[in-house]
Structure 1
Amino acid sequence: MEAREAGRTDERRQFALPGAAPLAPMPARREAVSADSRPALPERPPSHPPVAVARGLPATLRRALDGEPERGNGFLFAPVFMAAGALSYFTLAAEPSFLPLLLSFVLASGLAFALLSRPLLHAALVAAAMVCAGMLAGKVETWRAATPMLGSEITTRLTGRVVRIEHQASGRVRLTLDLVATERPQLRYAPHRIRATARAAPEGLVPGETVQGVARLMPPSGPVRPDSYDFAFESYFSGIGAVGFFLSRPERVAETGPPDFGERLAAWVEEWRGRMAARIEAQISGPEGAIAAALITGIRAGIPEEINEALRVTGLYHIISISGLHMALVAGTLMVSLRAGFALFPSFSMRRPVKKYAAAAALAATAFYLALSGGDVAAQRSFIMLAVMLAAVIVDRAALTMRNLAISALIILIVAPHEVVGPSFQMSFAATAALVAAYAAWRDRRERRPRASISRGMPVAMLRTGLGYAAGLSMTSVVAGLATALFTAWHFQQVSPLGLVANLAAMPVVSVAVMPMAVLTALLMPFGLDAAPLWVMGQGIAAMNAIALWLAERSAFDATGAIPLAAVLVLTVALAVLTMATSALRWLALPLIGLGVGLLAARDLPDAFVSEDAVLVAMRLEDGRIAVNRPRPRAFTLDNWRRAFGGGEIVRPVDAAPGEVMESRLATAGFSCRDGLCLVDRGDGAVLAHAADAAAARPACGVAGLIVIADATARSPCGQGEAAVITARDLARKGSAEIRFGQGPAAIRFAITEPYRPWHEHRRFSRAARGLAPWRRQERDQPRSDDQTG
């Protein structure tokens, strides 16, 4: 120790300035200093007065409450409270007025400013102001969208300007059109934009041109069950007022009017994307070409459903959806390439901030990629997140910080607050927050750990690097998977049992062979030199598909069943506390996690579902099988219900002999149908019936606990207390239904509540919602029967 200190003193003398006073030797380092021997330091005044409410709390928790604001972590919770406000607005039972929301925000903000001297009360008022700001942002976005929605199904001859062309794997073409005119009949309240499929499109059709044809248009549907994906909600904020299909091939017609500059620019971008996708698929055949086109241009319609399902089951579908992964890989590839190129010119790189140059170039490249990919909402959100991080690099700030993530979330919540309801926003920010927190914890632990100074040679170094890369990729997959599993189970009722294995196997291929080649392809395609990178990209995608298909065949059914909203909210709060707090407050996440897990364990799965058109009914039997009333049910709806039930074998209906429907129900083998009546007995006394009309439903009144009548003009044929009845008119007004049987009457929960929110307002105008029978031309002049007076 003395020799080491003497050497340090000699070294200091060597570099001392001439004429300077001799340096005193450094004192020897002491291993420990007692608290009594430390010199008394003047007390630094606190940055804010102590929190009065926290004085009765334990000392550790009190220090944590005081320490979090000192670290600036209070700002991290601003987007959390704003997201809670936006979520509250979009889930309200009735549309709130603008003035109360504005006054609440102003009042909370004013009180928070006036009570700066009361830290705890000030923090509570700031949180309330952020909640009000989220609700206000949702209200403003709803006003701004104001999408006209079609009220009822109708067949009309339409003329529309092509916005987007998507070639599907089935061979059909999906067109997004700005509606120009309608005739026979002319729609008085026509939507501005529609989406319709056709068997084929005119040869050489490009965005910006105008087409005409006879189409069957329908309003966007609601959720297939309560708490499920709401197509009408997404269509409203996407500007889509109707969906449908062409009854004949649409024809190209002359321009009805010159488009404005914005329409011409959008058409040029879409045409450019279409040409790139066609060129890519011409050079890479099969599903690999469709996936390559999706990764570069964002056009995913051509991917076969078999590949889509395999990617979903194995947890690899995030590779297809352009999001933060793709933006990060594009920016990272360009930054590494530019910095490596700058390193070849040492004199330039030593005098210039080449890291900032690379970050600026990466920002421009990701903006170009955003335009090239179609600018979907998920891509916009990812670009905002990455732009904030690259801007931080340019201004000499840390890029990957929780504060930058909070800024990104605030920007998105101001621009598009409706995204807080969707899985993309929730999963993206949950994964990023968890990864940033995990990285910070790992970095702190690494800094505290002493570094080894012994060199072990190149082979050992390469082995350690490889193992470190594998460990980092594994931890990234584990952390991101755990953070997003809750939202995957809530939105999709499924998890990926082999997701970790699939990501470990596929992500090196995607990171090395797929996305870098995608960047190179986009750069070289204008020069016609894209054949080589596209070939490498195709080989990488083929390997990824092989991994997904192989693991999907060996993956167990991944249905989790419907989970309660209360559990999702509690566990989300626990995740926010766990990732954003940096003190002992993190321990508060443990009781929240315990409560959330307890709510999950105590959940009660639904017993039956009814579609919003009253055509399809499904019931979960005692042995876990799922009975349906139609031999060929809609695959999408049934798959969603099956996952919500927790999985199970599908039992098709059987035909019963005349007069045997009532007796065959006792077999509990699924629905027994005859003469417009289908019955199923779960085995514990819960009986569900589906009838075509009131006359067919009458025999089931004394037997079934619930009767679904697929007739909007029908009334309940049962007496008081005999059976609960749902008619097609109820479902048209309130959406799909979830049924639970108990000791008393069946509990019915509909997907949509009245009074309607703006994105459901169109439901009141359908014929079924008004109690009218479907329109038929040959019955136009016939008098209506008693059952049709509804």
Structure 2
Amino acid sequence: MTRFLINWLLAGFFLDRSRWFLWVPVLYAVGIGAYYSVLWHPSLYWCGLPVFLISLLFFRFVRQREGLLIPVLSLAIVTAGFSGAILRTEWVAAPILQKKSISMFTGIVVQKSAGQKSVRLTLAQPEFELASIPDLKTVRVSTRSDVQSLHPGDKISVKAVLLPPPPPAYPGGYDFQRDSYYKQIGAVGYTISRPEIQTRDAVSLRAQISSMSALLRDKINRYILKNSTETSAGFTMAIMTGDRSHMPKSQLEEMRNSGLAHLLAISGLHMGMIGGIIFFAVRLLLSALPILALNHPIKKWSAIVALIGICFYLAVSGMSISAVRAFLMISMVFLAICFDRTALSLRNLALAALLILVFLPETLLSASFQMSFAAVFCLIAGYERWGHLLILKSNQRGVLRRFTYYFLGIFLTSLIASFATAPFAIFHFGQFSVIGVAANLIAVPIMGFWVMPMILIAFCLMPFGLAAVPLELAGDGISMILFIAHYASGFTASVLKVGVLPISGLVVLILAFFWFFIWRHSVRFLALGAAPFILALVLIAERPSILFSQSGALFAINDQKYGTAASTFRSERFERERWTQLLGIQEFERLTNWKTPIFRCDGTGCVYLKNTKVITFLNNAHTIKTDCDRADILISRVPIPKGCRNPSTIVDKFSLWREGGHALYLDEKGNARLETVNSLRGDRPWVPLVYRKWLEVNR
């Protein structure tokens, strides 16, 4: 029986030999994921060891046993991903600010994002007056000063309050410090003086190139603000330059809750629309000239012009991950046309994914990368199997039939993309949009037939100062999309909040998903066997009973019987919002209004009774001795002396400062398990130095 199963598996693998390449980016991603899952910082020596071992295996065994070829090659790809992440981490290494500082400094503006209340400036090559600040490569600060005369490429001087990049809001949450590390942003903060221009000449070649791109985006943004309505300006900037900072928070929330947030990110939809409009417009014009249409490959010429057009669009988009991924995919479509190849295929998508992961391995962990590739992969896989039937039906006679199948295609596309991105939306945001399919069915045609053509015309006329009319027309279409988002998000069940999906369940789901869709023969049905494991991992996933922020100013209790409540609504708003996503709730109650017999507060702190455990929250040092005598678990905003021996778990001011936010898990028997932000990250270069030094001492 075992031999039969092995032969059946091998037969399926070799029948799908043409699909083997699709596993290359998957295996490479496994290696990258392995790098980010370890709790120590692998040195460069690890890059050579896998190569040595695989070479030894190859020359010793593979020559004699061909059956080992596939496992060895798979191992080689996994270790290549691991090594690639190491090399990328070392390549971008730069100093990081470790504590709050106030200093006068100079820097070159490389990016300017115009928000509604403040302007965010990204400054390169900063030089600080305060000697204790390290030589940071990039600083990002926000300012409320009038900086209309300030442009990318200017060297300015300003006084600012500088802070280390923010840590995750809870253990296992999105790592902003890691994201800043790979962007070489060593500090964030806000200005306390008006920025003064020193010179308008960028120093280095890299700064000049970056400044030229940012200056172009800044000019486009200023033109949009001048010639668009206040309602549509932020949306227009988002789809033209990738800058969403000018969109009101209410609009962003409504777009997200209605499932239309993907219309704001410059991704495959926008890049495909721009490229497609250029391609068909140029081909239509060339086909009007018989001498060209009959004697020259005008289809290939149109593809080349469209490729140049999306290159420009990428340059002004800010080159986000979604934009780069879309550019690679769409450019492969036009290159395939030039070389008489299949335009859309999983092989092209796999190549685009591999290119991004090789050069930017950290993007594997971003929601943008995961959701965009998941959506495109499912769409190509779905239409690869059943798309030809839809095309044959839509090409039959009758305008009404064509429009019917067009909207059917939009419906199926929205449905497939929604299901493909739902696990990632749950994992990153603890929610997904239920009404998104219906909203997309109306909004996407408006975007494709109205907004994007006007945006393309605006791009073409903007150098001549004649883009006001197309921007106004695009604004009318954008207003309709915003109305759809507002109406759809108003439904009570428009967004389903379920809490964050555990990473183990997501990984198993992704691998099973790839297994099912990459293979085309019966072997792919083995992926269905992963369903019970995925369900079990989701059902046994724990939610923290108590969450404590790094500052100690905010804590929250999650009780299965009495609900969830937070200690304050005055501060730590961002952390509180992230906690609601983790727990899958709309909002916390106020602990001051939480009428339960198991919780009480006074002027010195609070006491929470849970499964015979006494948990105290201490605000000051006056009752340390009393709490040390009665508490099983002690959480304190002040330092706790070493003589406090009764509590089995102690979290004090120094623990929070050193290890970041805490999450406490309590089971039905009263057993406690503590997780911290930094204990789940380990000794990594983006983790604060104080924790890494503490690890060295306590090893």
Give the TM bin, normalised by the shorter chain: over 0.9
Closer, same or farther in 2 for the Cα pair 1:275/1:258, shift >3 Å? closer
Tell me, yes or no, if the aligned pair for 1:560 and 1:646 is still in contact at 8 Å: yes
Aligned to 1:597: 535
- Aligned to 1:348, which of 292, 316, 335? 292
Q: Secondary structure at the match of 1:563?
A: coil
Q: Answer yes or no: is 1:700 the counterpart of 2:627.
A: yes
Q: CA deviation at 1:343?
A: 2.1
Aligned to 1:674: 603
Aligned to 2:182: 237
Tell me, yes or no, if the aligned pair for 1:54 and 1:62 is still in contact at 8 Å: no
Aligned to 1:289: 233
Q: CA deviation at 1:693?
A: 4.0
Q: CA deviation at 1:740?
A: 0.7
- Aligned to 2:674, which of 748, 761, 778? 748
Q: CA RMSD in A?
A: 2.7
Single out whichever of 412-421 and 338-347 deviates more from structure 2. Answer: 338-347
Closer, same or farther in 2 for the Cα pair 1:341/1:86, shift >3 Å? same
Q: CA deviation at 1:186?
A: 2.2
Distance 2:359 2:276 in 1: 26
Distance 2:692 2:105 in 1: 21
Residues 67-100 of structure 1 show CA distances to partners (whole Å, capped at 9, x for unaligned) of 122xx11111011000010111022110112223
Tell me, yes or no, if the aligned pair for 1:629 and 1:671 is still in contact at 8 Å: no
Distance 1:624 1:642 in 2: 16
Q: CA deviation at 1:309?
A: 0.6
Closer, same or farther in 2 for the Cα pair 1:535/1:413, shift >3 Å? same
Q: Answer yes or no: is 1:97 the counterpart of 2:26.
A: no
Q: CA deviation at 1:631?
A: 3.7
Q: Answer yes or no: is 1:79 the counterpart of 2:7.
A: no
Aligned to 2:15: 67
Tell me, yes or no, if the aligned pair for 1:202 and 1:251 is still in contact at 8 Å: no
Aligned to 1:149: 96
- Aligned to 1:465, which of 383, 394, 402? 402
Single out whichever of 111-120 and 600-609 deviates more from structure 2. Answer: 111-120
Closer, same or farther in 2 for the Cα pair 1:672/1:68, shift >3 Å? same
Closer, same or farther in 2 for the Cα pair 1:119/1:323, shift >3 Å? farther
Residues 563-612 of structure 1 show CA distances to partners (whole Å, capped at 9, x for unaligned) of 22221111011111122111112211211133212322332222121112
Distance 1:505 1:624 in 2: 41
Aligned to 1:659: none
Distance 2:696 2:592 in 1: 33
Tell me, yes or no, if the aligned pair for 1:390 and 1:399 is still in contact at 8 Å: yes
Closer, same or farther in 2 for the Cα pair 1:106/1:718, shift >3 Å? same
Q: Answer yes or no: is 1:200 the counterpart of 2:148.
A: no
- Computing the radius of gyration from Cα coordinates, the structure with the larger value is 1
Closer, same or farther in 2 for the Cα pair 1:544/1:407, shift >3 Å? same
Q: Answer yes or no: is 1:299 the counterpart of 2:243.
A: yes
- Counterpart of 1:536 in structure 2: which amino acid? L
Distance 2:629 2:559 in 1: 21
Aligned to 1:56: 4
Tell me, yes or no, if the aligned pair for 1:165 and 1:176 is still in contact at 8 Å: yes
Distance 2:394 2:406 in 1: 19
- Counterpart of 1:472 in structure 2: which amino acid? G
Aligned ranges for residues 613-624 of structure 1 at < 5 Å? Answer: 613-623=551-561
Closer, same or farther in 2 for the Cα pair 1:685/1:364, shift >3 Å? farther
Single out whichever of 432-441 and 155-164 deviates more from structure 2. Answer: 155-164
Closer, same or farther in 2 for the Cα pair 1:342/1:110, shift >3 Å? farther
Closer, same or farther in 2 for the Cα pair 1:624/1:376, shift >3 Å? farther
Q: CA deviation at 1:250?
A: 2.5
Tell me, yes or no, if the aligned pair for 1:313 and 1:555 is still in contact at 8 Å: no
Aligned to 1:42: none
- Counterpart of 2:89 in structure 1: which amino acid? T
Q: Secondary structure at the match of 1:204?
A: coil
Q: Answer yes or no: is 1:709 the counterpart of 2:636.
A: yes
Q: Answer yes or no: is 1:691 the counterpart of 2:618.
A: yes
Tell me, yes or no, if the aligned pair for 1:562 and 1:605 is still in contact at 8 Å: no
Among the aligned pairs, what percent are the same residue? Answer: 29
Q: Secondary structure at the match of 1:208?
A: coil
Aligned to 1:524: 461
Aligned to 2:420: 483
Single out whichever of 124-133 and 611-620 deviates more from structure 2. Answer: 611-620
Aligned to 1:788: none
- Aligned to 1:582, which of 492, 505, 520? 520
Aligned to 1:376: 320
Tell me, yes or no, if the aligned pair for 1:85 and 1:131 is still in contact at 8 Å: yes
Residues 320-368 of structure 1 show CA distances to partners (whole Å, capped at 9, x for unaligned) of 1112221111111111111222221233122222221111111111111
Q: CA deviation at 1:689?
A: 3.0
Q: CA deviation at 1:507?
A: 0.8
Single out whichever of 156-165 and 59-68 deviates more from structure 2. Answer: 59-68
Distance 2:257 2:624 in 1: 41
Q: Secondary structure at the match of 1:501?
A: helix
Q: CA deviation at 1:424?
A: 1.4
Q: CA deviation at 1:58?
A: 7.4
Tell me, yes or no, if the aligned pair for 1:313 and 1:558 is still in contact at 8 Å: no
Tell me, yes or no, if the aligned pair for 1:213 and 1:250 is still in contact at 8 Å: yes
Q: CA deviation at 1:703?
A: 4.8
Aligned to 2:491: 554
Distance 1:701 1:403 in 2: 63
Distance 1:151 1:244 in 2: 13
Q: Answer yes or no: is 1:311 the counterpart of 2:255.
A: yes
- Counterpart of 1:495 in structure 2: which amino acid? F
Distance 2:380 2:301 in 1: 25
Aligned to 2:368: 424
Aligned to 1:533: 470
Aligned ranges for residues 221-232 of structure 1 at < 5 Å? Answer: 221-232=166-177
Distance 2:607 2:450 in 1: 56
Instruction: Provide the aligned length of Structure 1 versus Structure 2.
Output: 693
Closer, same or farther in 2 for the Cα pair 1:744/1:518, shift >3 Å? same
Residues 97-148 of structure 1 show CA distances to partners (whole Å, capped at 9, x for unaligned) of 2223322134325634762674542111111101000011101100110121
Single out whichever of 689-698 and 272-281 deviates more from structure 2. Answer: 689-698
Q: CA deviation at 1:672?
A: 2.4
Q: CA deviation at 1:245?
A: 0.8
Tell me, yes or no, if the aligned pair for 1:431 and 1:480 is still in contact at 8 Å: yes
Tell me, yes or no, if the aligned pair for 1:701 and 1:723 is still in contact at 8 Å: no
Residues 700-724 of structure 1 show CA distances to partners (whole Å, capped at 9, x for unaligned) of 345544322223x44356323x341
Unaligned runs of 5+ in 2: none
Distance 1:671 1:182 in 2: 49
- Counterpart of 2:250 in structure 1: which amino acid? E
- Aligned to 2:663, which of 738, 753, 762? 738
Distance 2:85 2:224 in 1: 40
Q: CA deviation at 1:303?
A: 0.4
Closer, same or farther in 2 for the Cα pair 1:111/1:215, shift >3 Å? same
Single out whichever of 747-756 and 210-219 deviates more from structure 2. Answer: 747-756
Distance 1:748 1:412 in 2: 36
Aligned to 1:107: 53
Distance 1:500 1:315 in 2: 7
Q: Answer yes or no: is 1:390 the counterpart of 2:334.
A: yes
- Aligned to 2:77, which of 127, 130, 145? 130
Residues 400-459 of structure 1 show CA distances to partners (whole Å, capped at 9, x for unaligned) of 111111111111111101111111111111111111110110146679x9x899x8xx6x
Distance 1:284 1:686 in 2: 60
Structure-2-length-normalised TM-score = 0.93
Q: Secondary structure at the match of 1:472?
A: helix
- Counterpart of 2:545 in structure 1: which amino acid? D
Aligned to 2:592: 654
Distance 1:445 1:297 in 2: 37
Tell me, yes or no, if the aligned pair for 1:489 and 1:560 is still in contact at 8 Å: yes
- Counterpart of 1:736 in structure 2: which amino acid? G
Closer, same or farther in 2 for the Cα pair 1:703/1:649, shift >3 Å? farther
Closer, same or farther in 2 for the Cα pair 1:765/1:599, shift >3 Å? closer
Distance 2:527 2:350 in 1: 20
Q: Secondary structure at the match of 2:185?
A: coil
Tell me, yes or no, if the aligned pair for 1:654 and 1:673 is still in contact at 8 Å: no
- Counterpart of 1:756 in structure 2: which amino acid? D
Closer, same or farther in 2 for the Cα pair 1:426/1:562, shift >3 Å? same
Q: Secondary structure at the match of 2:687?
A: helix
Aligned to 1:140: 87
Aligned to 1:660: none
Distance 2:514 2:600 in 1: 46
Tell me, yes or no, if the aligned pair for 2:97 and 2:133 is still in contact at 8 Å: no
